[in-house]
């Protein structure tokens, strides 16, 4: 229908973006009727998203002609931005940004480095940056989920944690059930993505490869490769972030510093 209304490609894309945004806002309005207020957060996120992705799309045009080493700086900047974004999910947790940035850098960075060295990811900037950004984004989401779950569990079980401390448990043991729960729950999306690959969804990367003429079986296997790398990067990130944040919520005297109402 939109294609009939707009013959100009730019206007068509803008109209498509507007319709998609309206669909998202309808959900926000439905949530509002149930007393859940996501209006400002969703609006800001959508505005940021459209501006950022348009800017990156423009930069990618320039990068096609840039030397390969520039992708290292680009990926490092993405990791820092990802750390800042997911740290917001860990409100009042000491060192959340530091923990997030290091965890994402270690989790996604080590998978990107090893896979590039092995030749699984092409070193061409047009391949390394988009695939790397997928790993970083998923690592960021996993990290956010892990920190959010850990924070909620610690606040809800402060009594149990302090009881364990009062009985002589060390800080690490007193929160170990919550570290494990945060790690497990943060990996649910990555596991479900792998499990439902090809049945529930055909990811954009595969669709893009098919459109550009790649053979379907190659496109499908490479999509699995990407999802397996996403799982590895996300798992490593969550493993590191839950361990680092665990140590950050206790003082040197093994006192729980993350307390309800403080």
Partner 1 sequence: MDNIPVTRSPNPDPVLRTEHLGCVVNEKILVEDVNFEVRTGEVLAIVGPSGAGKSSLLRLLNRLDEPTSGTVYLEGTDYRQIAPRELRRRLGLVNQRPFLFPGTVEQNLQFGPLQRGESLSKDAVDELLSEVGLKGYASRNVANLSGGEAQRVSVARTLANSPLILLLDEPTSALDETSKREVEASIQRVVRDQGLTCILVTHDTAQAARLAARALVLESGHVVRNGPINEVLHA
Contacts with partner 1 by CB under 8 A: the residue count is 18
Name which of 186, 218, 191, 189 is nearest 205 in CA terms: 218
Closer to partner 1 at the Cβ: 164 or 249? Answer: 164
* Cβ distance to partner 1 smaller for residue 101 or 171: 171
Query: Of 14-22, 125-133, 212-220, 254-262, which part binds partner 1 (CB under 8 A)?
Result: 254-262
CA atoms of 164 and 159, how far apart (whole Å) = 9
Helices 176-186 & 188-195 angle (0-180, nearest 10)? 30
Pairwise CA distance, residues 102 & 31, whole Å: 35
Tally of CB atoms within 10 A around 5: 9
Site for partner 1 in 41-100 (CB under 8 A): none
Contact between 255 and partner 1 by CB under 8 A: the answer reads yes
Rounded least distance, CB 177 to partner 1, Å: 9
Q: Select from 57, 119, 168, 213 the one that contacts partner 1 (CB under 8 A).
A: 168
Q: Least CB distance from residue 184 to partner 1, whole Å?
A: 17
Q: How far is CA 44 from CA 51, 52, 133, 254, 261, in A?
A: 11, 12, 21, 39, 28
In the complex with partner 1, which residue's Cβ is closer, 23 or 167? Answer: 167
User: CB–CB of 245/90 below 8 Å?
Assistant: yes
Binding residue (CB under 8 A) for partner 1 from 35, 119, 159, 260: 159
Q: Is 126 in the site for partner 1 (CB under 8 A)?
A: no
256: which strand partners?
Answer: 250
Q: What is the DSSP letter of 253?
A: T
Letters for 172-201 (x = contact with partner 1 by CB under 8 A, - = none) are -x----------------------------
* Residue 106 or 178 with smaller CB distance to partner 1: 178
- Residues contacting 190, CB < 8 A, separation 6+: 138, 142, 227, 230, 231, 234, 235
Among 4, 10, 166, 200, binds partner 1 (CB under 8 A): 166
Identify residues 213-252 at the interface with partner 1 (CB under 8 A): 251
Among 170, 172, 195, 198, the residue binding partner 1 under the rule CB under 8 A is 170
**Residue of 1, 62, 64, 167 interacting with partner 1 (CB under 8 A):** 167
Q: Which of 83, 63, 65 lies closest to 74, judged by CA? A: 63
Residue 260 engages partner 1 in binding (rule: CB under 8 A): no
Q: Is 256 in the site for partner 1 (CB under 8 A)?
A: yes
Token duo for residue 261:
């109402």
Least CB distance to partner 1 at residue 93 (A): 17
Report the C-alpha gap between 257 and 250 in whole angstroms.
5
Which residues contact partner 1 by CB under 8 A? 159-160, 162-170, 173, 251, 253-256, 262
């Amino acid at each position: 229908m939109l294609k009939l209304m707009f013959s100009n490609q730019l206007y068509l894309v803008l109209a498509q973006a507007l319709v998609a945004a309206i669909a998202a806002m309808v959900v926000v309005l439905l949530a509002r009727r149930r007393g859940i207020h996501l209006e400002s957060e969703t609006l800001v996120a959508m505005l940021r998203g459209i501006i950022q992705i348009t800017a990156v799309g423009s930069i990618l045009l320039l990068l096609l002609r840039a030397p390969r080493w520039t992708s290292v700086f680009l990926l490092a900047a993405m990791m820092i931005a990802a750390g800042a974004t997911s740290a917001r999910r860990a409100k009042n947790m000491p060192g959340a940004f530091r923990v997030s940035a290091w965890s994402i850098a270690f989790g996604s960075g080590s998978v990107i480095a090893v896979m590039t060295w092995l030749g699984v990811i092409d070193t061409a900037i047009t391949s390394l940056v988009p695939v790397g950004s997928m790993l970083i984004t998923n690592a960021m989401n996993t990290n956010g989920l892990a920190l959010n779950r850990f924070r909620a569990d610690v606040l809800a079980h402060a009594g149990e944690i302090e009881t364990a401390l009062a009985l002589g448990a060390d800080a690490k043991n007193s929160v170990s059930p919550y570290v494990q729960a945060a790690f497990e729950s943060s990996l649910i999306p990555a596991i479900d993505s792998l499990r439902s690959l090809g049945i529930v969804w055909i990811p954009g990367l595969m669709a893009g490869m098919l459109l550009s003429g790649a053979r379907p079986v190659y496109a499908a296997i490479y999509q699995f490769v990407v999802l397996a790398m996403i799982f590895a990067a996300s798992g490593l990130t969550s493993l590191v972030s839950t361990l680092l944040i665990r140590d950050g919520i206790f003082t040197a005297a093994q006192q729980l510093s993350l307390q309800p109402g403080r």
